[in-house]
Amino acid sequence: MAKHINISLKGHTVLVTGANSGIGKAIALAFGQTGAHVAVNYVVQPEKAEEVAQQIRQSGGQAITVQADVSREDQVQAMFKQVIETFGTVDILINNAGLQRDAAFTEMTLAQWQKVMDVNLTGQFLCAREAAREFLRRGVVPERSVAAGKIICISSVHQEIPWAGHVNYAASKGGIHMFMQSIAQELAPHKIRVNAIAPGAIKTPINYNAWSTPEAEKHLLELIPYGRVGEPEDIARVAVWLATDDADYITGATIYVDGGMTLYPGFSTNG
């Protein structure tokens, strides 16, 4: 059971993409606990998005569900319009929607490559651009935050760790890294903060096979010095904090939340 979040973001509006499962769901629920208005984006399985929204409402928050394929410009623009019409503005974007289409490199189809690029990278571009436009239009609202807006890109340890058999995914996450830093540089003078969280292995549907049996989990733990596979709430708590003014001087940064996976544990007894 997730710990309660003791941070108030009352009156803030947060849009979380891919919020009907995994890390996105945990982030949406965590923001709900802060009193923020939460827009729960999904592309398929509306009933799962509705469950997340219901849970937020039951805990006293306000939430809507909003369907959009983040790789489609028209759908992303319609999504922002709907959120802004409902809650008045958007204060925080969590660029979370992402997927894997794994294949050996020489077997990888253009469709597998393109799908991952479209959702993981182009999707972050389209959503961040709409969010930044809204932040610039509205400017700083001192009662809510000293910043005009915050964008948090959910990346991966694979923005740094090469990943055979998953080159489309690793390339998309490497792209997110430079995309995030470049827009952070461009938007900082407008008091817009842009950062990334790079999760390691977190128990979600995307990597179910890597942790769902004791043997698989044991094998996975060889990559994690801290000795446990992460939970979605490990990411959610960091996302909430990063969106608060306590983190106001952080922009253009990637926070690795990975139990030490990027410490390359294979080198602890070799090299």
Q: Is 200 in the site for ligand BGC (CB under 6 A)?
A: yes
What is the distance between the terminal CA atoms of the chain, rounded to a whole angstrom?
40
Return d(Cα 262, Cα 50) in angstroms, integer.
Answer: 35
DSSP β-bridge partners for residue 40: 16, 65
Contacts with ligand BGC by CB under 6 A: the residue count is: 9
Closest to ligand BGC by CB, 65 or 159: 159
Least distance from ligand BGC to the Cβ atom of residue 178, Å: 17
Closest to ligand BGC by CB, 13 or 100: 100
Binding positions for ligand BGC, 97-126, rule CB under 6 A: 100
Least distance from ligand BGC to the Cβ atom of residue 263, Å: 13
Angle between helix 22-33 and 46-58 (nearest 10): 20
Part of the chain binding ligand BGC (CB under 6 A), chosen from 9-17, 122-130, 140-148, 198-206: 198-206
Closest to ligand BGC by CB, 62 or 262: 262
**Which of 82, 207, 244, 262 touches ligand BGC (CB under 6 A)?**
207
Active site residue 169: yes
Who contacts 137 (Cβ-Cβ below 8 Å, separation ≥6)? none
Contact of 173 with 214, CB cutoff 8 Å: no
Return d(Cα 202, Cα 84) in angstroms, integer.
Answer: 32
Q: Is 206 in the site for ligand BGC (CB under 6 A)?
A: yes
Who contacts 87 (Cβ-Cβ below 8 Å, separation ≥6)? 13, 37, 39, 62, 64
**Which of 28, 64, 157, 184 touches ligand BGC (CB under 6 A)?**
157
List phi, psi (to 5°) of 202.
Answer: -120, 140
Nearest to 197 by CA among 235, 167, 224, 227: 235
Per the listing, tokens 């959120």 go with: 83
**Which of 78, 103, 210, 221 touches ligand BGC (CB under 6 A)?**
210
Closest to ligand BGC by CB, 73 or 160: 160
> What is the residue type of 132?
A
Q: Is 263 in the site for ligand BGC (CB under 6 A)?
A: no
Q: Is 156 in the site for ligand BGC (CB under 6 A)?
A: yes
Catalytic residues: 169
Q: Which residues bind ligand BGC (CB under 6 A)?
A: 100, 156-158, 200-201, 206-207, 210
